[in-house]
A and B are shown apart, each in its own frame.
Chain A
Amino acid sequence: MDDIKLLEAVERYISGQMSPDERVYFEQLRKSNPEVDQAVVEHTFFLQQMNRFDEVKNFKAILNDTHIHLGEKGLIKAPRLKGRAKVVYLYNRYKRVAAIAASIAGITALTISALVWSLSPAKPAGKEEVQLLNRKFDNMNQKFQQMEKQNKVLDQKINDVKDQTASSDPSRYTYTSGGTGFMVDAKGYLVTNAHVVKDATHVAVQSSNGNEYVARVIYADADKDVAILKITDKNYKPLSSIPYSIKRSSGDLAESIFTLGYPRNDIVYGDGYIASKTGPEGDTLSCQITIPANKGNSGSPILNKNGEVIGILSKKENAVEGAAFALRSKYIIEALNELQKDSSYKNIKTPTTSTLKGKDRTQQVKTISDYVFMVKVD
């Protein structure tokens, strides 16, 4: 019997779709032909495995939802969501209620105004006075508006001057060496290696779909080899909230990891594992990983299977093929905390919730690639 037909028969047998005659015939075949019997046993087992996998996967998703839900309602002592993740959660949860409330409010307002209109006397006393006052208000309003306009003109002028000095046209310079950076706050803050932007006069970042933005180094720590950039380009539109989180603890030995970076002009995916918990010569700032890495990979995020950033790809071991080193992610958090002490950056948020958990790798990579940028320096 040809394999594909055998499989079809086995599936119909397992799912009970065979007619009684056919079933009897098939059972005899099973007894006389060990190969057929083997196929039935194996396939039954395999289907069970697939179903169990699916059940547990779905159950995990329910557990995650339950956790967030109960945490938000304060029914368990879990830390609550912060920032955008929370807004999205609340929006999804309450959009129906909000819509109903809004329409009830609308109807009430209409009814009341209709009542007032029909019940109020035709000519209320003191109307002229009210009108006078109104006019005064109008005058004041106009003055305010004029002042606001003037302010706007000033702002515009200041911006123009800024643009002239900062130059918002990234293509004006010829950028040479570069690396990779990834976003830590959708307002335009990226993390990369300090050595990538060392001695740079101009910095630009390029997204996976080819848009280029001017950026500025706002923090660099050469010892830890970590730098933070801010996109200053006026063409930059903030992305939606960061899908990955930054993990405080580093990963376990042999844990599987993956990375996205720009060793060439296109984004490149690589995967590997944590090879050692320390870096070169017992350095505890970093850990050794085994992953394909090239020069432009410096600054690439290293993520674990849950979509949590566990480090920044920073160095490569030349003597050993595939060996590289990653700066531990806790130093990203430290750098951000350091930066937040400066009042102009105190609103930077560190992403704490990964929305990638349980998704398959292809989807994770697709989502993450919007947040990984090529860093170009001049």
Chain B
Amino acid sequence: MKADISEKSLLQGLAKNDKKAIETIYKDNYNLVQALVINNSGTAEDAKDIFQEAMIVLYEKVQSGTFELNCQIKTFVYSVSKRLWLKRLMQQNRFNLSDGHEESVSVDEEMEEHEKRNTEFLMMEKAMNGLGEPCKSLLEAFYLQKKSMQEIASSFGYTNSENAKNQKYKCLMRLKKLFFSQYKNESL
């Protein structure tokens, strides 16, 4: 089927951070989710948060190499959004949610995985923010932007790459400590 092929290429585009693919998925699905949230006492801002989180769930799924959904992208994003918004409502002690007759599928597995990843994301965010400068920039330069130790030494003003390496080691140890202390608390 032709539709399946284009859906698959959209998902492959999403995995590669392709702007065009992201825009297409966004454009085709946002309004439906916004209507759902607004009809269930949310604001446009809430809708944006919920939809974007659902997009992250989809993103995580394709990042792990799964390009085959057992349903259409639309159904998937809608189902995840519905779960996310229901959860938000439950935190405010409201338990029901009315939707039109949109098709939805079970996304329990994805939600569980996403919860885990989201906690990890928040823990890393907290650890990174607690780290302070110049450590944060230094580690980002090395591990994320993949700069060489020489480049880092010159841009951060270390006399040689050996000094930069020592500094990087200290920073990494601190970051690990910040991260794993939360991680261990969480898994207890």
What residues of chain A have their CB less than 8 Å away from a CB belonging to chain B? 3-4, 7-8, 42, 46-47, 49-60, 62-64, 66-67, 69-70, 75-79, 248-249, 252, 360-362
Nearest-CB distance from A358 to chain B (Å)? 10
**The 5 nearest A-B residue pairs measured at CB:** A53-B124, A76-B30, A63-B52, A54-B144, A4-B169
Q: Identify A62's interface contact among B19, B47, B48, B169, CB under 8 A.
A: B19
- Shortest Cβ distance from B29 into A: residue: A76
Chain A residues lying within 8 Å of B128, measured Cβ to Cβ, are 53, 360
27 CB < 8 A contacts A-B: A3-B169, A4-B165, A46-B179, A47-B143, A49-B179, A52-B124, A53-B121, A53-B124, A53-B125, A54-B144, A59-B55, A59-B56, A60-B56, A62-B19, A62-B22, A63-B52, A66-B22, A67-B30, A75-B27, A76-B34, A77-B30, A77-B34, A78-B34, A78-B48, A248-B43, A362-B129, A362-B132
Give the residues in chain B near A51, CB-CB below 8 Å: 143-144
Q: Which residues of B contact A (CB under 8 A)?
A: 17, 19, 22-23, 26-27, 30-31, 34, 43-44, 47-48, 52, 55-56, 59-60, 63, 91, 117, 120-121, 124-125, 128-129, 132-133, 136, 139-140, 143-144, 165-166, 169, 172, 176, 179
Give the nearest-CB partner of A7 in chain B.
Answer: B169
Residues of A within 8 A of B176 (CB): 42, 46
- Contact A67 B48, beta carbon cutoff 8 Å: yes
List of A residues within 8 angstroms of B55 by Cβ: 59, 63
Given contacts A56-B59, A56-B121, A76-B34, contact A361 B23 (CB under 8 A): no
A58 CA to B55 CA, complexed, in Å: 13
Q: Is the CB of A50 within 8 A of B124?
A: yes
Cβ-closest chain A residue relative to B166: A4
Give the CA-CA distance A3 to B43 in the complex, in Å.
52
* B26 and A79 contact, CB distance less than 8 A: no
**How far apart sit A79 and B47, CA to CA, in the bound complex (Å)?**
11
CA distance A78 to B48 in the complex (A): 8
Determine the distance from Cα of A64 to Cα of B55 in the docked complex, in whole angstroms. 11
**Closest CB in chain A relative to B62 CB, distance in Å:** 11
Indicate if the CB atoms of B19 and A60 lie closer than 8 Å: no
Bound-state Cα–Cα, A67 to B27, Å: 9
**Most chain A C-beta atoms within 10 Å of own C-beta, residue among B26, B43, B129:** B26
In the complex, the answer to whether B133 meets A362 with C-beta atoms within 8 Å is yes
Complex interface: chain B residues within 8 A of A7 (CB): 169, 172
With CB as the reference atom, state the residue of chain B lying closest to A56.
B121
Chain B residue nearest to A308 (CB atoms) is B45
Q: Which residues of A contact B129 (CB under 8 A)?
A: 360-362
